[in-house]
Structure 1
Amino acid sequence: MSAFVYGLGIGFSLILAIGAQNAFVLKQGLKQQYVFWVCFICALSDSILIYFGVTGFSKVIANFPFLLTVSKYFGAAFLFFYGLRNFYSAIKNSSSLNPSDIEKDSLLKIIGICLAFTWLNPHVYLDAIILIGSISVQFSDQLYQFAAGTILASWIFFFSVGYGAKMLLPLFKRATSWKILDVLIGITMWTIATMLII
């Protein structure tokens, strides 16, 4: 199996798990707000982390473990706040909601949230830098092919989720569906936050 194909498989296997970042991309896709920028920022951030991982940045993290500790607590606080926001949204919304009826956040705010979901999440460092970095060692003669495959998986995944979400729009014509989504996302955020600090 070529390093590129192996990297593609590793990339998909790591990113397919439902996490805070993926849930946010799905919700923005359903709201049809800044979908391109959300997908682009998430994929680009992952690409940067993967590149650092395969080029040896994992050694820096290994030498300075406090960076992961700091990220863990900041990430947990962010996820708790964002989960609370989703629970509040589930309680507040009561009418039938179309994506075009939803109040639009500013692009800068969405960019900030995207960056926080990636860079304040210790699991991203463990997956993209430590795990992928260690796997890449066996492809020392095809390092960049392996990295390219892993990075491509990230771009395919985020844009598929972001733009594929519109297929679920008929279901989300009802306010109840949005409430359920908000509650599920809130539970996801709080679960991940709890796992980070225990």
Structure 2
Amino acid sequence: MLSVSPLLQGFGLGATMIIPIGAQNAYVLNQGIRRQHHLLTALVCVICDILLIALGVFGGGVLFASHPTLLLSVSCGGAAFLFWYGFLSLKSALHVSSEVEEKQVTRTSRRAVIAGTLAVTLLNPHVYLDTVMILGGIGGQFEGGDRVTFAAGTMISSFAWFFALSIGAARLSPVLGRPKVRRWIDGVIWLMMWVIAFSLLKRVVM
């Protein structure tokens, strides 16, 4: 029989970990506004989350806890990617474009979108800390079917959030996609990416 309590706990805890704005959410939002394979972006995020949640809940968090150099390597790679992605956002924010130019922007290929989504997800150490170690640690306290139900709740939360964010951004793209609004959004994304990148480097140095 399905136990509702672990399902709701998993859904609620998953939401608190996934919804706060970060590199991954910013990337999904950006793809949604541009309407460039935004559903594919959400799908890749969900698949990654499902795998990471399963890894954490069923014992994989021990791997990162016992190998700090692994998380250190991810932090360095993540910082480099965030600096690069932030630079692209800054460049886009400083480029004054017209409505016509916005419509003529070359569409990103599916491969590039998948690669970008994987990078912003798997090179983000917060994903491993939140999804694998914290969710995994809490999920590991459940036994048997309750552990599976808890994991399912967090996975449902991930699915609901990323597709809601992607579809919502695409629906609002006529407003959010205006050149002036886009510049503001790109500027905020640039600032956020570099703040996160500097925080990662600070953690590595300290």
Instruction: With the length of structure 1 as denominator, give the TM-score of the two structures.
Output: 0.95
- Post-superposition CA distance 1:39-60 (Å, at most 9, x none): 0001100110000000100111
1:38 aligned partner: 41
- Change in Cα spacing, 1:173 to 1:118, as seen in structure 2 (3 Å) is closer
Q: Which whole-Å CA distance do the structure 2 matches of 1:7 and 1:194 have between them?
A: 31
Q: Which whole-Å CA distance do the structure 1 matches of 2:148 and 2:103 have between them?
A: 42
Aligned amino acid, residue 171 of structure 2: M
Identity %: 38
Query: How far off its partner does 1:93 sit?
Result: 3.6
1:11 aligned partner: 14
> Is residue 31–residue 99 contact of structure 1 (8 Å, CA) maintained in 2?
no
1:119 counterpart = 2:119: no
- 1:43-192 superposed matches below 5 A: 43-96=46-99, 100-141=103-144, 142-192=146-196
Q: Which whole-Å CA distance do the structure 2 matches of 1:172 and 1:13 have between them?
A: 25
Query: How far off its partner does 1:179 sit?
Result: 0.5
Q: Which whole-Å CA distance do the structure 1 matches of 2:159 and 2:173 have between them?
A: 22
Query: How far off its partner does 1:92 sit?
Result: 1.8
> Is residue 33–residue 177 contact of structure 2 (8 Å, CA) maintained in 1?
no
Query: How far off its partner does 1:100 sit?
Result: 4.6
Further displaced range: 95-104 or 127-136: 95-104
Q: Which whole-Å CA distance do the structure 1 matches of 2:159 and 2:101 have between them?
A: 28
Per the alignment, in what secondary structure is the counterpart of residue 138 of structure 1? coil
Aligned amino acid, residue 139 of structure 2: S
Aligned residues: 198
**Unaligned segments of structure 1, at least 5 residues:** none
Runs of 4+ in 1 over 4 A off after TM superposition: 97-100
Q: Which whole-Å CA distance do the structure 1 matches of 2:129 and 2:21 have between them?
A: 16
Q: Which whole-Å CA distance do the structure 1 matches of 2:70 and 2:121 have between them?
A: 15
Per the alignment, in what secondary structure is the counterpart of residue 99 of structure 2? coil
Per the alignment, in what secondary structure is the counterpart of residue 140 of structure 2? helix
> Is residue 75–residue 121 contact of structure 1 (8 Å, CA) maintained in 2?
yes
**Unaligned segments of structure 2, at least 5 residues:** none
Q: Which whole-Å CA distance do the structure 2 matches of 1:8 and 1:98 have between them?
A: 42
> Is residue 97–residue 172 contact of structure 1 (8 Å, CA) maintained in 2?
no
- Post-superposition CA distance 1:85-106 (Å, at most 9, x none): 1000111242126875432011
